Chain A
Amino acid sequence: MEQFTDRKYIIGGLILFVAFIFTIRLFSLQVIESSYKLSAESNTRRMEILYPARGLIFDRNNLTIANNQPSYDLRIAPYQLEEFDTLGLCTILGIDIQSLRDGIKKTIEYPEERRNAFIKQISPATFGKLKEKQYKFPGFYFSTRTLRKYPREIASHLLGYVGEVDSSNIKLDSYYELGDYFGVSGVELTYEQYLRGEKGRRYKQIDVHGREKGSYRDGRFDSDAEAGKDIYITIDANLQEYGELLMRNFKGSIVAIEPSTGEILTLVSAPSYNPALLVGRSRQVNYEILAKDTLKPLFNYAIQALYPPGSTFKPVNALVALNEGVIVNSTSFLCFRGFHAKGISVGCHEHKTPLDLPHAIQNSCNAYFCNVFIRIIDDRDFKSNEEAYANWRNHLVSMGFSDPLGIDLPYEKGGFIPKPVYFDRYYGKGRWKALTILSMAIGQGEVLTTPLQIANLAATIANRGYFYTPHVIKKISGEESIDKKYTTKHQVSVDSTYFNVVVKGMELAVHEAGGTSQIARSTKFIVCGKTGTAENPHGEDHSVFMAFAPKDNPKIAIAVYVEHGKWGATYAAPIASLMIEKYLTDSIAPERKWLETRMLESKLKYY
């Protein structure tokens, strides 16, 4: 081994070589070049982050829904601090000497958090006063950023809000730094990467008195902030505002969709709140108040609440039955003020009997749809009830009733359509049949859906058999198109020829004597609608209504839920009809003004 002893010279030589290079470098840095010394003398420069303005949000008609207002943060450059009139500063800022000391101490001790402002979002008045006397307080300077402003103060759930990043965000996305803002919910979150823009930096040369002496090194290290991209959402701001007004005394939601595109026209979740509450210094306080409210105003009922669909589900069962050939349009069933068999009774109201399919939808006959459901589930074409049920369920899945639909808003819930195993586990394999789960015939029992899914059902019926995934994005400026997901047509598994009879039934419900939804009738266009009364264990039934209009070439499909509003026709149908009228004709006809007044003045008690 000793033959390698000579290699110690090479290793030693390497060490000497590195030391030699270092020495030369140090000599040139420290002795030959004097510029660094000079540079250090005036090394009072300051890096300022230039915060981009957040992209604006417009509605489908280019009306501004969210824009920006300037806000000023007071910051400290610790190396420029000199003796100053601490009392004077405290007086202007309205703080005590201790918080001033703590603030200064913090900026010195945690320089990496230097960008974290001393005082955030100073009021304009204070800003004015301090700006005037800034020369007295060397080392204090302002940074400008923007906060959200809502000219119309609507659509709070949909827009979401902007908050400050925490360490987990910073870890996930290197764009963020301490003190940055980002979209926490709603559209602000979904389209955060477009809205946020690019931050810039500017290095400024500062003289000993803290005055700016221009840019550092001719701005070699500077970069400009790039404003976020504006986005256009599919909401009709006027309709949204009207919807929020109609729902002001209720708990529930309105979802309106343009059937031909899947664009959301209105998304109301009531109770709502003013989006301006969650902006600026008072955000934290207001947020807590809202979070503690027992009516859960922060909860987006339109896409997160699960309800039994009630009778709005009947058209679905009709469609599946037609598609499976177990009934035809003229199939009639008797109704004995309900459906009665083997100890099971489902009540019904007084109406003519027997009825064919369109009239059964018109009258919302429970007995009829119990028979329809039995025919679907006990279909002899399938080997077992289970298979027939699975087939029925597949049709529902194709209509978007199972998983979340995929709207571009965070935290959307999916519905609940039990899989066959669910009943197997509950009743035992092969030990359940149509009668066992009969309440699903009329949209009760296990089945749960979100208001968005019911609105999507209305849109699907309006389109006679297809839908586009509901979405709120219309355009992102600078982007060619929106996500393909929202421009792909979804054909449901029920053949489109079967839809017309259901449409007919829904038309009769509104426009013919005896219909359950006559209150939604308009003289100017044909409304097709279906009421629902969703039983629930928490109290009075929910009032539900789904509709679309006009009958041919529909422009709007809508679902309205009013919690504990009892009958579909009591609140949900009037509200939906007013929304439709407002959207299609831009106003409410004088002969229907009374209905609007009644809705605005009704009050329901919620706890």
Chain B
Amino acid sequence: MKSQNTIFATIDWLTVALYFALVIFGWLNIYAVTYAYDDASFFSLQNRSAMQATWILISIVAILVIFVLDGRVYSLLAYPIYGFALLMLLSVLVFGTTINNSKSWIVIGPVSLQPAEFAKTATVLALAKFLSGFNIKISRRKDILTTFIIIFLPVLMIMAQPDFGSTIVYGILLLVLYREGLPGWVLILIISIAALFLFTLVLAPITLLILLVSIALIAFGLINRKYSIFTLSLIALGIIIAFFALIDYFNVLELTKYQVLALSLIIISVIGIILTFAKKIKGVYIILLTLILSIGFTYSVDFVFHNIMKKHQRHRVNVMLGLESDPWGYEYNVNQSKIAIGSGGFAGKGFMQGTQTKFKFVPEQSTDFIFCTVGEEWGFLGSFGLIMAYVGLLIRLIFLSERQRSKFSRIYGYGVTSILFFHFAVNIGMSIVLFPVVGIPLPFLSYGGSSLLAFTILLWIFIKLDSSRKGYML
């Protein structure tokens, strides 16, 4: 027998408290951004905070619905929900409205929704359902394939919109697979290739070359665990960096990047041969091979990008990566964001006192760049507090996931954790200029009905699963 009382007793109040704290804090910041002048009726933009308040109420209704439903429906209906989400993604491509060059919105009367936001929840449900199935092993090739298909179907459709931010979120589900037993090296390999690909487009070829050579040399040092070799590697590294820096800075030889490549490969090979002749050095060939393969990959991506892709395609990729961007210019935006956050100082300027946020120096201030307002008005203390709140929530979610008796709930919990973590890392990372600009919202804080509602549903399904974990085993 379960009653309302048991639900209240079993609900994880810490998560609930963190959720509401974040939502309310987010609303305050949206209010601060959109509140422009004293004469509110004249320079009014109040409707954004009012809109957000409405969405908060809608989210609460959604929470109630989630709690009224039996916890087992999510497992039972995981595939239908997933199918429905795919259908929505498909229909947005057909009937959708294009906003900011991306056909990702369904407009119904006064409400516009982004199906991609909700597709995340559906995908995690389907993933949990599949992986918790009888006799499914993530290390088995067939099951890995099915898993990847579940993840890739929505990715493909979101790519077509195109919405780069929402696409890459799905990559983080690798963490879930990792927790469920995906071999660690697969994870590292995929991450390395992805990182290499991204860096190829973002960094200058020479910088990347230095980076790769550095990694290789450090790897030499680490594998051999011998002081002399480690020193040798570091000296070689220093010489190479200095050499490239000179070439790059003075450009005395007027080399093309491919000549630099050839030159560096010669140098690397020479170093490799020297190291081979030195005694008892381990891993020379494997590291050298990896290095050459990486460089080969880098340059082929670079070649395809610059010589085979057409100008407009390149431009699109660059815009996606934030290299070429909106009319205001990439560097300018990023710099504005940095200034806004930096100007907050230790204690912040105080609620609604931010000057940078008020005048919209930073674009998308209430949506993707909401963290700038936090940084400016609440300072280091506030930002740190916010980060701690997120860390608390994420660690708590891991804890909750681990205590699930049903595999379905645990996988779902890890899915929620990973997605929230990814949004948290990428969004704040781009606001403080550690990441290129990728337009994805900060969960629970950013302005936007779809994202608030979708994150609410994502999280609260898990809270519901957790609260009823003792009632049944799935």
Where the two chains meet, the residues of A that have a C-beta atom closer than 8 Å to any C-beta of B are: 1, 3-5, 7-8, 10-12, 14-16, 18-19, 21-23, 25-27, 29-31, 33, 35-37, 39-41, 43, 47, 78-79, 101, 104-105, 108-109, 111-112, 115, 171, 174, 177-178, 201, 203, 221
Contact = CB atoms under 8 A, between A and B. Distances in A.
Contact of B338 (A3, A29, A79, A112): A29
Given A29-B341, A29-B432, A47-B332, A1 B380 contact: no
B450 interface: no
A86 to B, nearest CB: 12
The prevalent SS among residues of A at the interface is: helix
B327 A15 contact: no
Interface in B172-188: 175, 178-181
B45 interface: yes
19 contacts: A10-B178, A12-B395, A15-B398, A15-B421, A18-B421, A19-B390, A19-B391, A26-B384, A29-B338, A30-B341, A30-B346, A30-B380, A36-B339, A37-B345, A41-B343, A108-B43, A108-B45, A111-B360, A221-B331
A221 B179 CA distance: 45
Contact of B391 (A1, A15, A29, A33): A15
Contacts of A25: 432, 434
Interface string B378-397: 01100110011011001100
Interface in B15-65: 36, 42-43, 45
Contacts of B328: 47
Nearest to B37: A108
A269 B319 CA distance: 44
A573 to B, nearest CB: 51
Nearest to B356: A40
A3 to B, nearest CB: 8
Of the listed residues A18, A43, A109, A177, the one surrounded by the most CB atoms of chain B closer than 10 A to its CB is: A18
A31 B346 contact: yes
B101 interface: yes
A30 B344 contact: yes
B315 interface: yes
Given A5-B402, A33-B342, 6 more contacts: A25-B432, A30-B346, A39-B342, A39-B343, A108-B45, A108-B360
B343 A15 contact: no
B303 interface: no
A26 B179 contact: no
Contacts of B359: 78-79
Contacts of A105: 42-43
A22 B429 contact: yes
B205 interface: no
B432 A11 contact: no
A26 B429 contact: no
A32 B124 CA distance: 41
Contacts of A108: 36, 43, 45, 360
A202 to B, nearest CB: 11
Contacts of A115: 327
A374 to B, nearest CB: 55
A1 B424 CA distance: 29
A170 to B, nearest CB: 9
A18 B172 CA distance: 14
Contacts of A41: 343
A49 to B, nearest CB: 9
A329 B214 CA distance: 87
Interface string B342-353: 111110000000
A169 to B, nearest CB: 13
B161 to A, nearest CB: 14
Contact of B315 (A15, A27, A174): A174
A25 B394 CA distance: 20
A105 to B, nearest CB: 7
A108 B384 CA distance: 31
Contacts of B180: 1, 4
B272 interface: no
Given A15-B394, A23-B387, A40-B343, A30 B379 contact: yes
A201 B355 contact: no
B43 A15 contact: no
Given A26-B432, A47-B332, A40 B342 contact: yes
B428 interface: yes
Q: Which 4 A-B pairs have the closest CB atoms?
A: A36-B342, A40-B343, A79-B359, A30-B380
Contacts of B383: 26, 30
Contacts of A8: 179, 398, 401-402
A171 B45 CA distance: 28
A481 to B, nearest CB: 22
Of the listed residues A7, A35, A105, the one surrounded by the most CB atoms of chain B closer than 10 A to its CB is: A7
B340 A40 contact: yes
B51 to A, nearest CB: 14
B407 interface: yes
A75 B315 CA distance: 29
Contacts of B45: 108-109
Contact of A23 (B329, B361, B384, B395): B384
A179 to B, nearest CB: 10
Contact of B178 (A7, A18, A174): A7
B425 interface: yes
Nearest to A172: B312
B421 to A, nearest CB: 6
B384 A11 contact: no
A483 B264 CA distance: 42
A141 to B, nearest CB: 15
Contacts of B179: 4, 7-8, 11
Contacts of A10: 178
Interface in B314-330: 315, 319, 326-329
A43 B387 contact: no
Contact of B398 (A11, A22, A78): A11
A221 B375 contact: no
Nearest to B390: A19
B332 A203 contact: yes
Given A8-B402, A78-B359, A221-B329, A22 B432 contact: yes
A105 B41 CA distance: 11
A208 to B, nearest CB: 12
A433 B360 CA distance: 76
Contact of A4 (B181, B356, B394): B181
Contacts of A177: 327
B162 interface: no
Contacts of B390: 19
A18 B417 CA distance: 14
A4 B137 CA distance: 13
Of the listed residues A10, A19, A27, A79, the one surrounded by the most CB atoms of chain B closer than 10 A to its CB is: A19
A1 B384 CA distance: 36
A1 B180 CA distance: 7
Contacts of B171: none
B300 to A, nearest CB: 26
B329 A36 contact: no
A19 to B, nearest CB: 5
B332 A221 contact: yes
Nearest to A113: B327
A27 B340 contact: no
Contact of A27 (B332, B380, B398): B380
A78 B43 CA distance: 11
B375 A26 contact: yes
A335 B432 CA distance: 93
B350 to A, nearest CB: 14
B292 to A, nearest CB: 30
Nearest to A77: B359
A225 to B, nearest CB: 15
A40 B398 contact: no
Interface in B136-184: 175, 178-181
Interface string B436-454: 0000000000000000000
Contacts of B429: 18, 22
B431 to A, nearest CB: 10
Nearest to A49: B327
B312 A174 contact: yes
